Amino acid sequence: MKIVGISGSIVGSKTRTAMDVTIKILKEKYPHIDVTLLDLADFQIQFSDGRNYLDYEGDTKYVAQTVMDADALILGTPIFQASIPATLKNIFDLLPEKAFQDKVVSMVVTAGSAKHFLIPEQQLKPILSYMKAQIVQTYVYIEEKDFFRKAIVNDDILFRLERLVEDTVMLTETFAKIREAAYDF
């Protein structure tokens, strides 16, 4: 099983911190899983121009291909201007329409305050549904006050991240087994 984490912004450090913690939990609990973290700040990714993702080159192709090869994705995103950052939306725009079919997708969200709690519900989930993802319904929403100097200091957040990781893996394994059992090809 391949799980890919995405840190969806090239600004700041909180989403990356949250993703580092998430990936650490994932690796410790499930050492057999092949885990990759893509921090979009580490890549030069071009804007989508509508071509098939296989026709891009360099970082753009690498990131798109890594996402497409995953069985599950854990998306880390901040909230910018009451929405997801353009860098993350661009990843979706680079991919085929049904890119997340047969993939489980879960979300880790960082924000300055509680004001934006419903942004992932109302803006990110519809995109993921459109792209046919099996969404882990509960997301972990982390506020400014839960961080201190590049660490998460709220145990409740840490517990919830553990549950998110477990749900992501369990659903991915379960859906794979169901597909396996349903068809003989």
Partner 1 sequence: MMMKKYRLDPAKGLEFGLYTLGDHLANPYTGDRISAQKRLQEIIEMAKLAEQAGLDFFSVGESHQEYFATQAHSVVLAAIAQATSKIKIGSSSTIISTSDPVRVYEDFATIDLISDGRCEIICGRASRVGLFELLGYNLRDYEELFEEKFDLLLKINEEEVINWSGEFRAPLKNAKVIPRPKNGYLPIWRAVGGTPASAIKAGYAGVPMFMAHLGGPASVFKRTIDAYREAAREGGHDPSKLPVATAGFFYVAETTQEALKEYYPHINEGMKRTNGRGFPKQLWAQGADTRSIMNVGSPQQIIEKILYQHEMFGHQRYIAQLDFGGVPFDKIRKNIEIIGTEILPAIRKYTAKKEGETK
The footprint of partner 1 (CB under 8 A) covers 49, 51-55, 68, 96, 98-99, 101-102, 179, 182-185
In order, the DSSP letters of the chain are: -EEEEEE--SS-SHHHHHHHHHHHHHHHH-TTSEEEEEEGGGS--PPP-SS-GGG--HHHHHHHHHHHH-SEEEEEEE-BTTB--HHHHHHHHHS-TTTTTT-EEEEEEEESSGGGTTHIIIIIHHHHHHTT-EE-S--EEEEGGGBSSSSB--HHHHHHHHHHHHHHHHHHHHHHHHHHHH---
State the nearest-atom distance from the C-beta of 55 to partner 1, in Å: 5
Residues 6+ apart with CB under 8 A from 167: 106, 136, 138
State the nearest-atom distance from the C-beta of 86 to partner 1, in Å: 21
User: Which is nearer to partner 1, 61 or 160 (by Cβ)?
Assistant: 61
State the nearest-atom distance from the C-beta of 102 to partner 1, in Å: 7
User: Which is nearer to partner 1, 68 or 86 (by Cβ)?
Assistant: 68
User: Which is nearer to partner 1, 94 or 152 (by Cβ)?
Assistant: 94
State the nearest-atom distance from the C-beta of 182 to partner 1, in Å: 7
State the nearest-atom distance from the C-beta of 101 to partner 1, in Å: 6
User: Which is nearer to partner 1, 118 or 182 (by Cβ)?
Assistant: 182
User: Which is nearer to partner 1, 11 or 178 (by Cβ)?
Assistant: 178
Give the whole-angstrom CA distance, residue 36 versus residue 7.
11
